[in-house]
Amino acid sequence: MYMPSIIELPETISELSDEGKALFNRFFDIRGSIGKMVIPEEMKPWIEKTFGGVASVEQQKIIKIFNKVTFESAMFNELRAKRPIEAKTDDSVTKEINESAGDPFCKPLSMTPADSFGRIKGKFCITASNVAKYDGLHGLVIFNKHNPLDFTEKEVQDYFHTSLKWFDKAHKSNKEAAYPFLLWNCLWRAAASIIHGHFQLVLGEGKHYAEAEEYNETRKRYYNEYKSDYFFDFYKLHELIGLGLERKNLRVFTNIAPRKDKEITIISEKPDNNFISAVYKAANCLVKDFGVMSFNIGIIFPPLNKDEGWEDFPVIARIVDRGKLSNKTVDVGGMEMYARSNVIETDPYKVFEKIKSYF
């Protein structure tokens, strides 16, 4: 079956209606370029073995995608984007996870602090207070299961419902703290210092976290200019190029300027069970279909108070692969850190092809 590729994006856009093109051009600037080189004879056998041919290496196609609204950008190289994906689990990692059982999170009642407002017990998890906090209110949802890669939808639903209760209690303990963010750093490539499965919950005071504030400013600016909803239009353009799906109040897409590899975005009006189910599906898809073992999930919730200027702000979840656990090289380098340009391996079309089969 024919599947479009990110490398052919300029052709895909040229086939859109005028209206579609105009919407796309509001957000993105796409540029293709060819990287050329001369390969010495002695090097050719290695090139053949590694890339399957010399010609495609001597002249390699690169697509640069620039989001004009948010100044996010991504670069795709045909050589990488066309590589087949192997969903292989790393046995040495499974062994390492199993050997770390019996850590402090396996005994949360005696080995983790409680919040001043107490603990919340879910069916498959319990909350704790983070021992070294990012912010005044910083809690944990500790899964009963040690292995973070072993999760079912029922469990994930419970982790989320417990998180929502924690946000509510934390907010009641300090009314100024009203800006919720949920993160799941799964294993060490994603910056988790503890192997045992856990969410982290932070509740900002006075202001939302920077990404949320930026989203809100962007959506206001966008509305003033186009009298249209930023989140809906951003989703819509991805749907037009075959990278988005909509179910009731839920929108799922693979951003063409992702933060990092295999990113999936989910936007919903509310953090209801359908939304949680979609987050579960996205995580499950990365783990089962792509062999991802380390990922970040970040979820921005609208403020818990009736803060002016945040009306109709949605819930936004993004999930991203952080690379192989056995790989010593980190996936974020100088380009990402200081050029705001993300070098991406996997074609978003390949990711979307898989995630859409779950809906």
Q: Would you put residue 102 in left (φ > 0), alpha (ψ -120 to 50) or beta? A: left
Rounded distance between C-alpha atoms, residue 348 and residue 101, angstroms: 35
Choices 24-32, 89-97, 98-106, 212-220 (CB under 5 A): range interacting with Zn ion: 98-106
Rounded distance between C-alpha atoms, residue 253 and residue 247, angstroms: 12
Whether 141 contacts 125, CB under 8 Å: yes
The minimum distance between CB 106 and Zn ion, in angstroms, equals: 4
Q: Contacts with Zn ion: how many residues (CB under 5 A)?
A: 5
Using the rule CB under 5 A, is 105 a contact of Zn ion? yes
Choices 123-131, 146-154, 160-168, 348-356 (CB under 5 A): range interacting with Zn ion: 146-154
H or E segment to which residue 284 belongs: helix 273-290
Nearer to Zn ion, 150 or 217 (CB): 150
Q: Collapsing DSSP states into helix, strand and coil, what is residue 74?
A: strand
The minimum distance between CB 143 and Zn ion, in angstroms, equals: 9
**One of 119, 146, 198, 259 touching Zn ion (CB under 5 A):** 146
The minimum distance between CB 107 and Zn ion, in angstroms, equals: 8
Nearer to Zn ion, 104 or 298 (CB): 104
Strand order in the sheet with 28-36: 28-36, 59-67, 73-77, 341-344
**One of 103, 205, 214, 217 touching Zn ion (CB under 5 A):** 103
The minimum distance between CB 92 and Zn ion, in angstroms, equals: 19
The minimum distance between CB 108 and Zn ion, in angstroms, equals: 9
Strand order in the sheet with 295-300: 125-129, 138-143, 198-205, 177-186, 295-300, 315-321, 264-268, 250-253, 244-247
The minimum distance between CB 109 and Zn ion, in angstroms, equals: 13
Whether 266 contacts 277, CB under 8 Å: no
DSSP 146-214: S-TT---HHHHHHHHHHHHHHHHHHHHH-TTEEEEEEEEEESGGGT-SS-S-EEEEEEEESS--HHHHH
Choices 69-77, 139-147, 237-245, 300-308 (CB under 5 A): range interacting with Zn ion: 139-147
The minimum distance between CB 193 and Zn ion, in angstroms, equals: 13
Nearest CA to 180 out of 199, 167, 162, 165 is that of: 167
Choices 4-12, 36-44, 140-148, 297-305 (CB under 5 A): range interacting with Zn ion: 140-148
The minimum distance between CB 105 and Zn ion, in angstroms, equals: 5
Rounded distance between C-alpha atoms, residue 133 and residue 113, angstroms: 12
The minimum distance between CB 103 and Zn ion, in angstroms, equals: 4
Nearer to Zn ion, 108 or 258 (CB): 108
Using the rule CB under 5 A, is 198 a contact of Zn ion? no
**One of 16, 30, 106, 304 touching Zn ion (CB under 5 A):** 106
Whether 180 contacts 203, CB under 8 Å: yes
**One of 196, 219, 259, 350 touching Zn ion (CB under 5 A):** 196
Choices 97-105, 239-247, 283-291, 331-339 (CB under 5 A): range interacting with Zn ion: 97-105
Using the rule CB under 5 A, is 150 a contact of Zn ion? no
Sites of contact with Zn ion (CB under 5 A) = 103, 105-106, 146, 196
